Homo-oligomer: A and B are copies of this chain.
Amino acid sequence: MSRAVAIAGVGYTPFTRRSGRSVLDQATEACAAAIDDAGIARHDVDGAASFMVLDDSVVSIAVGTALALPELRFALDVQLGGQAPCVLLQHAAAAVAEGHAEAVVVYRALNGRSGVRVGGGQFPGPGAAYRYPIGYGAYMMYVAMWAQRFLYETGQSSKDLAEVALAQRWYAQRNERAVLREPLDLDTYLAAPIVVDPYRMYDCTIEVDGSCAVLVTTLERARDMRHPPAVVASAAYRSAPRAGLDIGDHQLVDDFTRNYTHRLRDELFGRAGVTVGDVDFAEIYDCFTSTVLMGLEGLGFCGRGEAGAFVRSGATALDGELPVNTHGGLLAEGYLHGMNTLTEAVLQVQGRGGARQAPRHEVGVVTSGALVDGSAMVLTADR
């Protein structure tokens, strides 16, 4: 048995700076919304999966209980961050393909601003003893080091980072869900304080409270549901080439000019039966602007060192050759650790993007994760 798999629905809570609600409450709302959006009955949902960082969320059985789902045949909870959405989708899709589950809800929920904040979080690990005494202790700092080397080695600069922030803010103005919707120009970008060199304020994602979810089922069932299916054409994951001490250890890699995207690209497109030229739009994980540049280069949408110019040319705009981060990205919609990157891709493939709908939306690519390890997925229309 190997059944074609699709995403049939998406669900969201509002994204806020202070929800005033429990994480479970928000997870339940988003999952219920995804199930209702698909038009499936709750008693037909037999799987759930999610991820958490620093114990900031609730496990799948809790959401299953809150929604009065039947006992789960597939329940997967992993301790991962932004690498997780596409790889959880991969596992859920494999389970559905193989008949281990019929309908799986995959969600991310957190009080990422009012509760446990990754931005200021303490990541324990053997390396902490070396880093913390010198004040090198926040996740943002680690990514910034990588970004500096990436810019230096590829001959790019903070001007190239700025292009990403500006382009995505344009989309955010067309997304009622986005937390940051004011127009952004280059002067404003450059006038903002540097948080961690090379990142200015506008290079950084905005932490929020909230939840979003998708409903994964067979393509056959999805065809009878409310919206056109978003077909899971392929998914791929790559671990770090080797284990580091912990999240702040950059000794994992030899090449800071690329991230995992270039290592999984061939498998990702090959298994989907598409080429990079077939891709109509891309939703690229963007905890920081540099990740988008690395993703564009890594996936092969442009050459090494050319991503900034690619964005500057308008290629990633709505009328460009490859609309990118059409929700405004994590930078502007909010930091749901890439789960909302995935939900946006579903909306785009389904043609539900509203004022920010990509004109061509037959083939979309999504990535999850910023640096050494991560996952990605190709979604297509039902062709």
Q: Is A310 an interface position by the 8 A CB rule?
A: no
Beyond the given A72-B239, A94-B95, please list 9 additional residue pairs across the A-B interface where CB-CB is below 8 A.
Answer: A64-B242, A64-B243, A65-B242, A65-B243, A66-B243, A73-B236, A78-B78, A94-B98, A100-B235
Chain A 31-82 interface residues, beta-carbon cutoff 8 Å to B: 59-62, 64-66, 70-79
Residues of B within 8 A of A1 (CB): 2
* With contact pairs A97-B94, A97-B98 given, residues A240 and B61 touching in the complex (Cβ less than 8 Å): yes
Q: Is the CB of B75 within 8 A of A239?
A: yes
Interface hits, A221-243 → B, CB 8 Å: 235-243
Residues of A within 8 A of B (CB): 1-2, 59-62, 64-66, 70-79, 90-91, 93-95, 97-100, 235-243, 263, 267, 271, 373
Min CB distance A94 to B, Å, is 4
> Would B76 and A91 count as touching, CB distance under 8 A?
yes
Q: A77-B79, A263-B71 are in contact. Are A2 and B98 (CB under 8 A)?
A: yes
> What DSSP secondary structure best describes chain A's contact surface?
mixed
- A60 to nearest B CB, angstroms? 8
Question: Nearest CB to that of A239 among chain B residues?
Answer: B72
Cα–Cα distance between A1 and B272 once the two chains are bound (Å) = 12
Q: Once the chains bind, are A98 and B100 in contact (CB under 8 Å)?
A: no
A100 touches B236 (CB 8 A): yes
User: Can you name 29 A-B residue pairings with CB atoms under 8 Å?
Assistant: A2-B2, A2-B97, A2-B98, A61-B240, A61-B242, A61-B243, A62-B243, A65-B242, A71-B238, A71-B240, A71-B263, A72-B237, A72-B239, A73-B236, A75-B237, A75-B239, A76-B91, A79-B79, A90-B100, A91-B91, A91-B94, A91-B95, A93-B98, A94-B95, A94-B97, A94-B100, A97-B97, A97-B98, A100-B235
Residues in B with CB closer than 8 Å to A74 are 237
Choose among A73, A76, A94, A237 the residue with the greatest number of B CB atoms under 10 Å from its CB.
A94
Give the distance in Å from the alpha carbon of A240 to the alpha carbon of B72 in the complex: 8
Q: How far is the CB of A56 from chain B (nearest CB, A)?
A: 14
Q: Are A238 and B73 neighbours in the complex by a CB distance under 8 Å?
A: yes
Nearest 10 CB-CB pairs, A to B? Answer: A2-B2, A72-B239, A65-B243, A94-B94, A65-B242, A61-B243, A62-B243, A94-B98, A75-B239, A71-B241
Q: Are A61 and B239 in contact (CB under 8 A)?
A: yes
Contacts of A271 in B (CB 8 A): 99
Bound complex: CA of A171 vs CA of B204, how far in Å? 61
Give chain B residues whose Cβ lies under 8 Å from the Cβ of A238.
Answer: 71-73
Query: Which residues from B are CB-within-8-Å of A76?
Result: 78, 91
CA distance A163 to B241 in the complex (A): 50
- Residues of B contacting A373 with CB < 8 Å? 61
A95 vs B1: C-alpha distance when bound (angstroms) = 13
Give the docked Cα–Cα distance between A271 and B237 (Å): 28
* Contacting residues, chain B, for A267 (C-beta < 8 A): 73
Nearest B residue (CB) for A101? B237
Measured in the bound complex, the distance between the Cα atoms of B94 and A77 in whole Å is 17
Q: How far is the CA of A237 from the CA of B77 in the complex (A)?
A: 14
Residues of B within 8 A of A91 (CB): 76, 91, 94-95
Which B residues are in CB contact (< 8 Å) with A94? 91, 94-95, 97-98, 100
A73: which B residues are within 8 A, CB to CB?
236-239, 267
B61, B79, B98, B239: the one contacting A98 at CB < 8 Å is: B98
Question: Which residues from B are CB-within-8-Å of A72?
Answer: 237-239
Q: What is the bound-complex CA distance between A263 and B46, given in angstroms?
A: 14
Residues of B within 8 A of A99 (CB): 271
- B residues in contact with A97, CB < 8 Å: 2, 94, 97-98
